Amino acid sequence: MEKNKEFLDYEQTVIDKKKTIIAYWLAVMVLICSVLIAIGFLTGNIVLVICLGIINVLFGPVTLFFYLREVKKGVFKAEDD
């Protein structure tokens, strides 16, 4: 039983490390996108408007899908005390 608990602790640690690495990569991507958007606004380039439109069309449904998945899990369900 104790060995199983140690394995679960190790497994949770590995999962936490993987999530941390993913979070760092996403933070870097957001930073890069922010800089690119700022450069686009400063130059007044029409490409920026087109790229933002494409991003909105692509990631709107993706965001909705993940939101509905979380709702199905019951993440936002209020607990009665």
58, part of any domain: yes
Taking alpha carbons only, the member of 74, 52, 75, 71 closest to residue 63 is 71
**Threshold 0.75, pTM exceeds:** no
**Same domain, yes or no, for 37 and 66?**
no
Which helix (H) or strand (E) covers residue 1, if one does? none
Mean pLDDT for all residues in the chain? 79
Cβ 48 vs Cβ 40: under 8 Å: yes
79, part of any domain: no
Tell whether the torsion through CA atoms of 47, 49, 54 and 58 is positive or negative.
Answer: positive
11, part of any domain: yes
pLDDT of 26 > 80? The answer is: yes
Furthest C-alpha separation in the chain? 64
pLDDT of 10 > 60? The answer is: yes
pLDDT at position 6? 62
Structural domain range at position 60:
47-74
- Mean local confidence (pLDDT), 13-17: 78
